[in-house]
Structure 1
Amino acid sequence: MGLTGADAPAGAGPGSRGEHAGTVAAPLPAHRDDWEQQVLDDPQLLGDIAFAVGGPFHLMYPSRVAANIRGFQQVFTAAGVSGAIFYGKKANKAACVARACATAGAGVDVSSTGELVAALSQGIRGADLLVTGPEKSDDLHWLAARHGCLVAVDSLAELNRLATLDIPVRVLLRVLPAASASRFGMSAEELDQTVTAAADQPSISLVGFSFHLSGYDPVPRAELAVQLLDRVRAARAQGHPATTISIGGGFGVDYVPAGHWAAFRDEVNRRWFHSGKAFESYYPYSFPEAGPAMLAAILERDDLAGRLRKTETTLAVEPGRALLDRAGSTVFRVQGHKIRHEHGQPYRVLTVDGSSLSLSEQWFDSEYLPDPVLWPAGAGTPTPTVVGAATCLESDMLSWRRVPLPRAAVTGDLLIYPNTAGYQMDSNESPFHELPIPPKVVLSQAPGGRYRWALDQS
């Protein structure tokens, strides 16, 4: 069944849409890698996986993770700066990602004994693990110290607890940025006290400082890193090694083309969403300086790269989402559909075999916006479509926005949400209704260029 008005151009002004102006959502097609296109073009692969798994699943392509790591490494090399990369494991717990980090020369940032053990099991050495988080448990301290991990210390009390282990341990001191209301990190006075206290603990090796900033602006990251170089020099004067500054994560990801994102922001309104839903904010899905390019911008600001070289200081980064860019997708099967009308316009409501807990922007009371892809491809009438989950919750919607699908979806079709590896998979999943959590399916390229798959080990 075709839906009248569904093919109105997304960028057209209100006058071109007549009395129903603004009811058709602007498309937000995701950037697509060759591997993704090849998977979508394969007439059997996705259908075979869906048949074998029997429910929703996540695709993972770890080769892309390795390529993203190389992108950050190349920026450090080009700037002549000693760099260290620690993958923020909380962004996705797939074993194949940790294995990709091990083979590509990246470390892993962990915050629990479970994450630490999982990283070790995939070949990450203890020396390449950064242990973060507030007031870590005694068990985590002991395990980290035994394996020679680098520990980001959040308070003087935590430093003292580490010292009682009487095991040599390397530490970073986490800094509370000025004017920040964060519960994490230490103020300038607390840092002074902790630096002094560390000098009296023979088992403690103070190797530097770390911080985390919210948002995605490179400027404050560079400015705070420059300020911390003064602390590095002062710590060295007190006899500490102080070789490293970690600037944390927050490296943006470019999901959709800039023009499409601008059209969405300029025209978004409640009529684009089921039941007139509105959200206060969205992730910036188009990012002009994403991932490695943002690192390059940080190093260029205030000649941070030159200052790091002059002081022989290593810059550490802790990207999560940015190392997972285009490294995975999430696949649901359409279970049914119906028609609804709002503002005099019809649109399709799909129910799929999973829940919005697998698209965890809902964790932030927001919407995951990159357009899902309908598989198999086929001709038809462009159809505005919202996507609901297979649960009893009215609020459980994967896509509140009326996504302009190229044809009307029917039962048995697959809906592929692109670029979901970073924080979308598993960050917020639960077996609600005793529905199984979607498994992760790892793709690798076989001889001849085709793709084969296996279940992830996690």
Structure 2
Amino acid sequence: MPRQGRGTLLTGVRPFPLTALRHPTVATLLDDHRALLGDLLDGLGSPLHVVLPEVFEENIARLRQAFAETGADVDILFAKKANKAGCFVSSAAALGAGIDAASSAELVKALAGGVPGHRIGVSGPEKDDALHALAVRHDCLVAVDSISELHRLAATARFAHRRVRVLLRARAGSQPGSRFGMAAAERDAAVGLCVEFADDVNFQGFSFHLNGYSPEERATAANEMIEHCLGARRRGALSADLVDIGGGLPMRYVEPRLWDEFLQQNEPAHYHGTKADKGFSCYPYGGQTPAQAARTLMNHPVDGDESLSAKAARHGIRFLAEPGRSLLDQAGFTMYRVQQVDDRRGTDGYAIVTVAGNSLSLSEPWFNTDFLPDPLLISAQPSADELFPACVAGSTCLENDMVTWRKIGFPRPVRPGDHLVYLNTAGYHMDFLESRFHDAPLPMKAVLRLGDDGALPRWRLDRI
């Protein structure tokens, strides 16, 4: 058996660091207010989600500036599905941003949070009549996915003696097999129906669904929608001047160089069990920032040398964007308390750290992969530096309840009572798959804002 040296696994594999980027507000909380964070975790339970609306507000301002620099006319709707916290809805309302809702519950919470109906977009395939009725009553913008849905929505508007604002969701040319949106023949028929139903339907333009995070592919799809708007105008739909580009703006969790190095060396031996193989698919954690992606998208040439934003301006086309994850960049983190440590370094070469809570409270929705950035270890008692390889398990009775399958190289031994902090988890990771398995309560969300002049941060429970 190979000798186990300082910082070396028995298997010969050294954990690869994926150090998470840290917003200044997050750094201040972790450096100067650890005692408060520890008290919140002890008092509110493990795991605990900490959400930071002031960072979310910065992200809205930064994305607006990036779009404006390209000359594009873009309104922002926060895709609420990315996080259920009510504080983000309130922040969006205060800044005049909108909400993208895909259910009656999301729409009601957006209205309750202060977002007026005319700033709410309603998306999702084949929405039910209850959601249609709410959207019509509150003057929301409804993205229609099929001719059958268009008929139902028009009937709802007619019954309510109102005119509903409508986008037609068209299928992008790059993803013809998508289950979302209308292919060419159905799209053309839907435009004709919008003209026919003009007393009930205020047709405003097109939207599309696109998998992936390529700004260039999204620009190409948006250009297709501009052409559809121009075609609809020729058929009498003179108000067709709006293109909804959806979300899909990537965000950066780790430095790009570090991410590229990780992809080059990633292999199954870096994981507990057989979780991953080389070449597995995962979120692009080291990609562009949202602002960079916005500029790339709007500056992308679509007709010769003309940019997407320039073509849109020339034809009087406005845009909607529906970012979710990217508006939550650095706007929250998740804390776990260490419950037990099974030190298997003498046999397996790494330990298994069990935390109070489960993996469903920290889920990566991208093809069932790990949330990959390294957690931060906050030790209850100081100890000497020593590389401590470990993966992180949840405390349920499921073999697959692993918070982190990847072996992390902690800088010192992990002990019961320590805290693990997963940074940048507000975008989908907190509540995408949360569960009351074992009758466990859902994790709480603590809303924090930094105080002025060194005062303690203000905190409250989120009102969801």
Of 12, 24, 28 in structure 1, the residue corresponding to residue 14 of structure 2 is: 24
Correspondence for 1:391: 396
Correspondence for 1:38: 28
Correspondence for 1:171: 166
Q: Would you say 1:457 and 2:447 are equivalent positions?
A: no
Correspondence for 1:268: 266
**1:276–1:6 Cα change, 3 Å:** farther
Of 193, 196, 217 in structure 1, the residue corresponding to residue 189 of structure 2 is: 193
Conserved in 2, the CA contact under 8 Å of 1:6 and 1:384? Answer: no
Q: Would you say 1:230 and 2:227 are equivalent positions?
A: yes
Describe how 1:13-162 pairs up with structure 2 within 5 A: 20-21=11-12, 23-41=13-31, 42-162=33-153
Q: Would you say 1:207 and 2:228 are equivalent positions?
A: no
Alpha-carbon shift at residue 405 of structure 1 (Å): 0.9
Correspondence for 2:309: 305
Cα distance in 2 between the residues matched to 1:222 and 1:275: 41
Correspondence for 1:381: 386
Alpha-carbon shift at residue 341 of structure 1 (Å): 4.4
SS in 1 for 2:414: coil
Cα distance in 2 between the residues matched to 1:408 and 1:70: 41
**1:85–1:64 Cα change, 3 Å:** same
Correspondence for 2:304: none
SS in 2 for 1:275: coil
Give the letter aligned to residue 198 of structure 1. Answer: C
Q: Which piece of structure 1 moves more, 370-379 or 135-144?
A: 370-379
TM-score, scaled to structure 2: 0.92
**1:272–1:206 Cα change, 3 Å:** same
Name the % identity: 41
The gaps in structure 1 that reach 5 residues or longer are 9-16
Alpha-carbon shift at residue 120 of structure 1 (Å): 0.7
Correspondence for 2:341: 337
Alpha-carbon shift at residue 6 of structure 1 (Å): 5.4
Alpha-carbon shift at residue 285 of structure 1 (Å): 0.8
Q: Would you say 1:357 and 2:360 are equivalent positions?
A: yes
Cα distance in 1 between the residues matched to 2:356 and 2:365: 18
Q: Would you say 1:443 and 2:448 are equivalent positions?
A: yes
Q: Which piece of structure 1 moves more, 271-280 or 426-435?
A: 271-280
Correspondence for 1:14: none
Q: Would you say 1:325 and 2:329 are equivalent positions?
A: yes
RMSD: 1.7
Correspondence for 2:215: 218
SS in 2 for 1:346: coil
Alpha-carbon shift at residue 376 of structure 1 (Å): 3.7
Alpha-carbon shift at residue 55 of structure 1 (Å): 2.5
TM-score, scaled to structure 1: 0.93
Alpha-carbon shift at residue 20 of structure 1 (Å): 4.5
**1:427–1:43 Cα change, 3 Å:** closer
**1:4–1:259 Cα change, 3 Å:** farther
Alpha-carbon shift at residue 360 of structure 1 (Å): 1.4
Query: How many residue pairs were aligned?
Result: 444
Give the letter aligned to residue 242 of structure 1. Answer: A
**1:43–1:143 Cα change, 3 Å:** closer
Describe how 1:422-433 pairs up with structure 2 within 5 A: 422-433=427-438
Structure 1 runs (4+) deviating above 6 angstroms are none
Deviation digits for residues 292-321 of structure 1 (CA, Å, limit 9, x no counterpart): 211110111111111011111111111110
SS in 2 for 1:44: helix
Q: Would you say 1:293 and 2:292 are equivalent positions?
A: yes
Q: Which piece of structure 1 moves more, 292-301 or 70-79?
A: 70-79
SS in 2 for 1:124: coil
Of 403, 407, 417 in structure 1, the residue corresponding to residue 422 of structure 2 is: 417
Alpha-carbon shift at residue 380 of structure 1 (Å): 2.4
Alpha-carbon shift at residue 448 of structure 1 (Å): 2.4
Cα distance in 2 between the residues matched to 1:110 and 1:147: 13
Cα distance in 2 between the residues matched to 1:73 and 1:399: 35
Q: Which piece of structure 1 moves more, 375-384 or 251-260?
A: 375-384
Cα distance in 2 between the residues matched to 1:363 and 1:439: 24
Give the letter aligned to residue 436 of structure 1. Answer: P
The gaps in structure 2 that reach 5 residues or longer are 302-306
Alpha-carbon shift at residue 363 of structure 1 (Å): 7.0
Cα distance in 1 between the residues matched to 2:75 and 2:137: 21
SS in 1 for 2:273: helix
Correspondence for 1:247: 245
Deviation digits for residues 138-166 of structure 1 (CA, Å, limit 9, x no counterpart): 11000000000000000111111111121
Alpha-carbon shift at residue 409 of structure 1 (Å): 1.1
Deviation digits for residues 210-245 of structure 1 (CA, Å, limit 9, x no counterpart): 012111111121112122222112222333201210
Conserved in 2, the CA contact under 8 Å of 1:353 and 1:389? Answer: yes
Q: Which piece of structure 1 moves more, 344-353 or 303-312?
A: 344-353
Give the letter aligned to residue 327 of structure 1. Answer: A
Give the letter aligned to residue 192 of structure 1. Answer: D
Conserved in 2, the CA contact under 8 Å of 1:25 and 1:268? Answer: no
Cα distance in 2 between the residues matched to 1:270 and 1:191: 46
